[in-house]
Amino acid sequence: MSASAEAAVRDEVRAWLNDHWDPNAGLVEWRTQLVDSGWGAPDWPTDWHGRGLSAALTRVVEREFARCGAVGVATGGIRLLAAATLLEHGSAAQKAQFLRRILTGEDVWCQLFSEPGSGSDLAGALTRAAFDGQRWTVNGQKVWTTSAHHAHWGLLLARTDWDAPKHQGLSYFVIDMRQPGVEVRPLKQMNGHASFNQVFFNDAEVKAEHLVGQLGQGWKVAMTTLAHERRRADGLRSGRADVEAPPRQGTIYAEEAQESATALAPYKWYPQRAGRVDLALPRAVASGRIRDPAVRQELARLLIVSSTAEWTARRARAAQRHGQTQGPEGSLGKLAASHVARLAARVHTMIAGVDALLAGEDGPENGLIAEILLSVPAVSIAGGTDEIQRNIIAERVLGLPKEPRFDQGPFRDVATNRGPH
């Protein structure tokens, strides 16, 4: 990136913000202006609400937004996974219908992949979609669906061909979550939160034009969604530059705070899921356990592994900035995050001893350590288990032979733990 290109983008976005930014504007009203200008998603294509800028120049834009305290487009929840998938595989009509409202935050999305009988075998999905010549009819069940209870739209992977091999008989849809035939039931977790839902489909309908990509190519489309999800799960978040921002005074901030509280509510236990490495050293020092050589050894190991995982993620970000497409590095990052979380739980337990099991005000950090221990196992499951990530790394990074398969041929002949198809 040349200094002149950076200066040109900085001057242009700064001038636009000086002319348009109003902290007392309505949130959707402001974001509509952002979408029209292309500054809300500057790395998106110019045909679809962006400016086609590189990742490096996008960070220049982010710094200018941070400098004046301007609110950006909506990014919470599954929205960006939906946007990334539609940008790569969606039709022009789908992009026109959905992308703008994703950026303005008017629509909430959820991801309908996992099923009770399939586990990490995503290609074993049994939810059916049948076409009658005009529309698709969906029957089946999904689980672990974040935000389904208030979503407008869902990203649905469903089986459309029972005579094709399992990976080739899947198709990818956008489904209306607020129609008859869609029932959402919350799931209570052992850590006390209720972030996920079961979703039941009983003759729910999908318009013919809401098939994403080609019929039978749902696996390929789903891999795009999961690649972006794993990138977000690698433990490193790219934020705005550390610049001094003005006070957040104005009605738009109140609206954004309310939106964020709703969007982020299902994710408030995610820092505990990641292990809260940041608490380990201060707690070891405060409790005096830092004097125990075994604790020091495990604590040093945790900090080394955590830093290594962060550097690996940064290398992946650098490759992305240089135009390289998302590859198996998302699996490397996610697997590293699982190792870090489990090691962090071990260190917290060594520091707190049996008190680590105490919840509520009686427990260490008002029960936060107990919540960490209950939440950490989830990081090895969500977005594809550690075993799935190891398979991806073995095959796509190390070039090892694929594992033996016993589920070839027509899917209707493949044995499952849910009985005959």
Do 201 and 274 fall into the same domain? no
Report yes or no on 410 lying in a domain: no
Report yes or no on 104 lying in a domain: yes
The predicted pLDDT at position 397 comes to 86
Dihedral angle over CA of 375, 381, 382, 386, nearest 10: 120
Q: What is the rounded radius of gyration, in angstroms, for the C-alpha atoms of the chain?
A: 23
Do 262 and 203 fall into the same domain? no
Q: What is the CATH number of the domain that holds 359?
A: 1.20.140
The predicted pLDDT at position 406 comes to 77
Report yes or no on 401 lying in a domain: no
Report yes or no on 54 lying in a domain: yes
Do 96 and 207 fall into the same domain? yes
Last residue of a domain, one of 175, 208, 233: 233
Report yes or no on 113 lying in a domain: yes
Return the bridge partners of 129, or none. 138
Report yes or no on 240 lying in a domain: no
Cα angle at 194 between 128 and 185, to 5 degrees? 35
Amino acid at 411: F
* 10-residue mean pLDDT series, the chain (421 residues): 86 96 96 96 96 91 95 90 96 98 96 87 93 96 93 98 95 98 94 91 98 97 87 48 73 93 85 95 96 97 94 74 66 90 97 93 93 94 86 90 84 73 56
Alpha helices in 322-360 (DSSP H): 329-352
How far are the Cα atoms of 81, 90, 126 from residue 242, in angstroms, in the given order? 26, 35, 47
Do 199 and 116 fall into the same domain? yes
Look at residues 315, 271, 332, 275 and name the one whose alpha carbon lies nearest to residue 298. 275
Do 221 and 96 fall into the same domain? yes
Report yes or no on 318 lying in a domain: yes
The predicted pLDDT at position 263 comes to 83
Catalytic residue among 64, 115, 229, 310: 229
The predicted pLDDT at position 235 comes to 42
Phi, psi (rounded to 5 degrees) for 309 = -65, -40
Q: What is the CATH number of the domain that holds 125?
A: 2.40.110.10
Do 60 and 23 fall into the same domain? yes
Do 262 and 221 fall into the same domain? no
Do 354 and 340 fall into the same domain? yes
Is 71 within 8 Å of 252 (Cβ atoms)? yes
Model pTM score: 0.82
Total domains present in the chain: 3
Do 43 and 30 fall into the same domain? yes
Do 170 and 309 fall into the same domain? no
The predicted pLDDT at position 104 comes to 96
d(CA 73, CA 77): 13
The DSSP code sequence of 36-103 is HHT-SSTTS-GGGTS----HHHHHHHHHHHHHHT-------TTHHHHHHHHHHH--HHHHHHHHHHHH
Respond yes or no: is residue 229 known to be catalytic.
yes
The predicted pLDDT at position 267 comes to 83
Do 114 and 210 fall into the same domain? yes
Cα angle at 273 between 270 and 279, to 5 degrees? 95
The DSSP code sequence of 260-279 is HHHHHGGGTTHHHHTT-GGG
The predicted pLDDT at position 231 comes to 65
Do 22 and 113 fall into the same domain? no
Is 64 within 8 Å of 10 (Cβ atoms)? yes
Look at residues 185, 172, 60, 166 and name the one whose alpha carbon lies nearest to residue 111. 172
Is 342 within 8 Å of 301 (Cβ atoms)? no
The predicted pLDDT at position 323 comes to 62
Report yes or no on 394 lying in a domain: no
d(CA 185, CA 163): 32
d(CA 4, CA 52): 17
Tell me which residue range forms the domain holding 206. Answer: 84-233
Look at residues 169, 198, 171 and name the one whose alpha carbon lies nearest to residue 185. 198
Is 304 within 8 Å of 298 (Cβ atoms)? no
